[in-house]
Chain A
Amino acid sequence: MVFADLFFLFVFLPAFALCYLLAAWIDRRKAKAGAVSFGWRNSLLVLFSLIFYAWGEPVYVLLLLASVIVNYFVGLGIDRPGQRHRKAALVLGLVFNLGVLATFKYLSFLCSQLAAAGLPVPVPRIALPIGISFYTFQSISYLIDVYRHTTPVQRNFRNLLLYISMFPQLIAGPIVRYGTVAGEIGNRKVDAHDLSEGMMRFLRGLGKKVILANQLSEVSSQLLTGAGLESLTTAGAWVGILAFTFQIYYDFSGYSDMAIGIGRCLGFHFNENFDHPYCCNSITDFWRRWHISLGTFFRDYLYIPMGGNRRHQAFNILVVWMLTGFWHGASWNFLIWGLFYGLIVMLEKYTLLRVAHRIPRWILHVYSLLLVVIGWGIFYFEDFGQMTHFFRAFFGGAAFSDFAAVDALRSYGWLWVAAVLFCLPLRDWIVRGTARWTASRPAWAFAARSILAFLLLAVSVALLVGATNNAFLYTRF
């Protein structure tokens, strides 16, 4: 199940909300004086999360459960006294989690490469369990944090299951660290402000996905797939990949907004996953703003333990970026995409970042965005023939322009304008700029928010009817 789906919006979510309110009422009635209880609410959240996952993956929900069981006991093992035991348990847990990931995500790819090289290796056909990269990384972060004593071990199995399987962030992140929500699992507070912020955040995410990303995907797929790719012109390549550049941002950040919004309504405060990445001044800066939860995961659990910038920094950077690319999918283009960024980040460290303060900001923006767009070109095409064809056109090795490219700009003119504007910190500017006005006219501010919420919901619902491109890009990773 995905968030931008009418069944989720009007069946699953309302059913969950009603049951959750009922569970909250039961919790309040059963709580002893002065104490708080979240037992019913947490159990209900687990139940709905498993239904949410099983809706799309009826069999792989067992894999998810098995993974949580193993991590639960490994976590308890790590918490036992004795350094040797703890380390052994951690290694066991890491081998298990990475083994599961390798088996379900990379084994088919590895075997197909060996078979292509002429080795008599059978290629297993293993379907990728949805969200496996996200929940495996969350499990790893839990085990390492417990090992490092950053967070206490979770002794309640249901609560660990809740952390791993919580449906708002289960299939496409953000990768929530256990420490971020550990306290809130057992004791969280939700007031009207949380609810209103969470709802608005959810609706904003829905709008980003349905109004912007889905429409942009029509442009990118029209130009970069099938007959459109065959007759690609230079202008078409640029328009198509720019559409994808915006599409992937609004798709993924929209999902993150919806996850953060639902979490907020339930009393969880997930960390931000995006910080206006297309406003970056360098590629290093871009990766501080894009998919922050993945970047910090690799920084904290791989880059720094490998030595960080203290020793073998160049090697560390390349390894981390190669793995970052490979995390996105079992395909060579993702590996190249990761290495592409690794090389640029390394080069920037020794060159650009030292002189950046002397270069006009607009030049830094253009430089960064150009490389980001090229990066998405590598990311988009898993087929090398298609990638080569695309880049030949992109760099001028095709007719300059055609009807399809011009039409994509003209027929979606206002969409392009919106796509550019909403990449900027527009909301922050508006909130800051109108702070005094909204404070003095609360009724108007309320009306404006309500109208915006209505428009976001109504327009999204209208566009969802008859839509076939609702799957989130990052759910396949």
Chain B
Amino acid sequence: MRGDRAFVIVVAVLMAAFVAVFCTLPRSRYSELEKRELRTFPAYNAAALRDGSFTAEVSNWFSDSEPFRDAFMTASMQLKSWMAFKPLRASKESVTFHAPEPEQAGEEPLVEAEPAAVEPAAAPVMRNQRDIQEYHHDVDANAKMENAGVIVVGSAPTARALMAFKNKNKGEKAFAKVVNAYRQVFAPDVTVYCMIIPTAVEYYCPESARSCTQPEFPVLKELYSLIDTAVQVVDLYMVMGEHLDEDIYMRTDHHWSPLGAYYAARQFAEVAGVKVPDLSEFDRQVVEGYVGSMYGFSKDINVKKSPEDFVYYTPKTASYSTTYIKYQLDKDYRITGEERPHQGDFFVKMSTTGSAYCTFMGSDARITQVVTEVDNHRRLLILKDSFGNAIPGYLFNAFEEVHVIDFRYFTHNIKQYVKDHGITDILMANNLSHVCSGGIGAAYQRFLNQ
């Protein structure tokens, strides 16, 4: 064919251009989209070469730390989104959310979910924390399944990504057992509270996609029935349900929002008999253009194109000091050492927008101790997963000290810690997915004996 020689040159130049990009430009070290450190070149050793792991790691390093990785991934997601049949979805691009009261299902007017005005609701009414009723709500929007069990509802610029709830490990019984064990170990001097945080999928999943996730309500009901009556349950299922028309969960992240955490903290304060100030007593801080972890999980361009404001609240009046004991980690997030205690800020200014959720304490891998000016002989220990990070900032007017420990990063004995620091209240604040995973219960059990 005529032009063969020219075609060969074109392809050779194209290949050379890609080789130049991939082999000569600086490699990416961190992916903002995936919120993770990228692989580094593996250390050589003869055994790794023999068993093939060295060469496999070299290939993985090369394929994981490409120059402009995030740009390539964005292009990749855009290409994938073009594979969808758009015309079929055009009629339901916006998300309409119907959020009736549980007793009055179907009678509430329609409320637009996005954007929501953030007006703090009235103070909660105390109720029996275990007597919960299922919300029958409906979200009227298109949805699609994406990678890693993520359901994407609606489309840019207001897409919402939901992590499907799959109770595969059925760890709720083991978790309840551990909560009861804490109550037994620490009674009567320490009050144990259990806050199980429902995830966004329970409230915001469209009916059409319900088959892709399991309901959280029955699991919560079961958990409440398994937890000893002497444990103070802090129910959030109803609390969150009352605020669904506000931004209580992030749309692009698997976490809740600081506003959701505020309502949770207020509910906890009611149960614990302390006071949390009105939201107007806090300064409103805004990180604009936030895109959370769900883009990395879902790899859906609609999520990337639906940035939101990350709004958090810092106390106006409370005076406090924060001390951290940081854990040193290896590349697989295993603890390799513990640093000496040092002072720091509780609210950390993050260098990138995408890591805004790390504003609270900067990371999970640390023990945090906040000393306030409150004088009520109440000292709180929060045992939490990352959802719990957003709670402590609201409690600096309520406790003398607030201690925070993550279930993944604690190497001491919890009984000794409670004794040494004169803890009077333990709040176990974890999201339901973690609670059911089994791992978190095992970790808290280990804390008692390590």
Contacts and interface: CB of A to CB of B under 8 A. Distances in A.
Nearest to B168: A227
B51 A415 contact: no
Given A196-B1, A410-B85, A5 B7 contact: no
B3 A445 contact: yes
B209 interface: yes
A403 B79 CA distance: 23
B8 interface: yes
B8 A192 contact: yes
B62 interface: yes
B51 to A, nearest CB: 7
Given A196-B7, A449-B3, A463-B76, A9 B18 contact: yes
Interface string A1-30: 100011101110110000000000000000
Interface residues of B, number: 55
Contacts of B50: 58-59
B75 A462 contact: yes
Interface string A386-417: 00000000000000001110011011111100
B76 A449 contact: no
A446 B3 contact: yes
B83 A412 contact: yes
A453 B14 contact: yes
Interface residues of A, number: 56
A413 B89 CA distance: 12
Given A6-B22, A196-B4, A218 B147 contact: yes
Given A56-B55, A412-B84, A6 B7 contact: no
Contacts of B22: 6, 10-11
B2 A442 contact: yes
What's the dominant secondary structure at chain A's contact region?
helix
Nearest to B34: A466
A446 B210 CA distance: 51
Interface string B114-158: 000000000000000000000000000001110101000000000
A407 B63 contact: no
A203 B11 contact: yes
Nearest to B76: A462
B211 interface: yes
B208 interface: yes
A450 interface: yes
A413 B84 contact: yes
A371 interface: no
B165 to A, nearest CB: 11
B350 interface: no
A404 B149 CA distance: 11
Interface string A459-472: 10111111100000
B72 A192 contact: no
A231 interface: yes
Nearest to B51: A58
Nearest to B59: A7
Interface in B145-202: 145, 147, 149, 166, 168
A409 to B, nearest CB: 8
Contacts of A402: 211
A227 B145 CA distance: 13
A404 B50 CA distance: 43
Interface in A215-272: 215, 218, 222, 227, 231
A129 to B, nearest CB: 11
B8 A411 contact: no
Contacts, number: 152
Contacts of A453: 7, 10-11, 14
Contact of B83 (A193, A414, A442): A414
A192 B4 contact: yes
B88 interface: yes
A457 interface: yes
Contact of B72 (A222, A408, A410, A466): A466
B209 A403 contact: yes
Given A215-B83, A414-B84, A465-B76, A449 B7 contact: yes
A5 B63 contact: yes
Nearest to A202: B11
Interface string A24-57: 0000000000000000000000000000001111
A6 B208 CA distance: 39
A199 B72 contact: no
A407 B143 CA distance: 8
A454 interface: yes
Contacts of B149: 227
Contacts of A464: 63
B66 A58 contact: no
A323 interface: no
A56 B58 CA distance: 11
A404 B3 contact: no
A410 B69 CA distance: 28
A415 B83 contact: yes
A460 B8 CA distance: 19
Contacts of A10: 15, 18-19, 22-23
A457 B66 CA distance: 16
Given A7-B62, A199-B11, A231-B211, A462 B166 contact: no
A91 interface: no
A191 B1 CA distance: 11
Given A411-B144, A412-B84, A459-B79, A404 B212 contact: yes
A195 interface: yes
A466 B69 contact: yes
B337 interface: no
Interface string B235-264: 000000000000000000000000000000
B29 to A, nearest CB: 15
Contacts of B4: 191-193, 195-196
Contacts of B80: 215, 463
Interface string A198-224: 011001000000000001001000100
B51 A7 contact: no
Contacts of A450: 7, 10
B442 interface: no
Contact of B69 (A56, A227, A465): A465
The CB with the most chain B CB atoms within 10 A, among A58, A446, A466, is that of A466
Contacts of A449: 3, 7
A74 B211 CA distance: 61
Contacts of B98: none
A463 B15 CA distance: 16
Nearest to B20: A10
Given A7-B59, A446-B7, A461-B18, A403 B72 contact: no
B83 A454 contact: no
A443 B7 CA distance: 11
B272 interface: no
Interface string B47-65: 0011110011011001100
Nearest to A463: B76
Contact of B59 (A5, A191, A203, A218): A5
Contacts of B166: 227
A9 B211 CA distance: 41
Contacts of A411: 83-85, 144-145
Interface in B81-128: 82-85, 88-89
Closest 6 CB pairs of A and B: A413-B85, A446-B3, A465-B72, A192-B4, A196-B4, A10-B22
23 contacts: A6-B22, A6-B63, A7-B62, A10-B15, A11-B62, A13-B15, A14-B15, A14-B16, A57-B52, A58-B51, A191-B4, A193-B1, A404-B145, A411-B145, A412-B83, A412-B84, A413-B85, A446-B2, A446-B3, A446-B7, A450-B10, A453-B14, A466-B34
Given A14-B19, A411-B85, A446-B3, 11 more contacts: A5-B59, A6-B62, A6-B66, A10-B23, A402-B211, A403-B208, A403-B210, A445-B2, A462-B76, A463-B79, A465-B69
Interface of A: 1, 5-7, 9-11, 13-14, 54-59, 191-193, 195-196, 199-200, 203, 215, 218, 222, 227, 231, 402-404, 407-408, 410-415, 442-443, 445-446, 449-450, 453-454, 457, 459, 461-467
